[in-house]
Structure 1
Amino acid sequence: MARSCIVCGKGIVVGIKLSHSHIRTKRTWAPNLQRVKAVIDGSPKKVLVCTRCLRSGKVQRAI
C-alpha cells in the first residue's frame, strides 16, 4: 500500500532543503495520513486517509 490518501490521492512530495550556506539537500514532505476504518463499497475496510478528507466529511467512518 502506497503512502497516499485513498480519497484525494495526496502523497509524499519531494523537494530541496536550502540551508543558510546554500547547501542543497533532498527532503520529503509527508501528508498527515490516518489509518481509519471506513465504509468502502458497502463494507468496512481499514484505509489510509488524510486528515483534510476526514475533517471535510469525504469519508464515512465505520463503527
Structure 2
Amino acid sequence: MSKRCAITGKGAMSGNNVSHANNKTRRRFLPNLRTIRVTLEDGTTKRIKVAASTLRTMKKNSR
C-alpha cells in the first residue's frame, strides 16, 4: 500500500540528509498518516489513510 493520503493525495517527498561535514545522502520525507474509519452513505464503514494535517483541517472546518 502506498504512503499517500486518500483525501489530499499528499505523498512521500525526497531530499537530502546533510551531515556536519556537508556530505549529502538521499532520504525520504514520509507523510504523517493515520488510519480512520469513514461511514459511507449506505451505512458501511471503510478504513482509509489520511494525513494528520488533513484531519486537523477537517476538524477546523467542521465547527
With normalisation by structure 2, the TM-score equals: 0.77
Gaps spanning 5+ residues in structure 1: where? 59-63
Two-structure CA RMSD over aligned residues (Å): 1.6
More helix, by proportion? 2
* Amino acid of the structure 2 residue aligned with 1:37: R
- SS of 2:2's partner is coil
**What 5-or-longer segments of structure 2 have no aligned partner?**
none
Q: Which residue of 2 aligns with 1:50?
A: 51
| TM-score when normalising by structure 1 | 0.77
Residue 57 of structure 1, CA deviation:
1.5
* One-letter amino acid matched to 1:24: K
**Paired amino acid for 1:56:** T
Q: Percent identity?
A: 32
The equivalent of 2:8 in structure 1 is: 8
Structure 1's consecutive aligned runs of 4 or more residues displaced over 4 angstroms after TM superposition are none
What letter matches 1:26 in structure 2?
A: R
1:17-50 Cα deviation digits (max 9, x unpaired): 111111111111111100110135x242101000
The number of equivalent residue pairs is 57
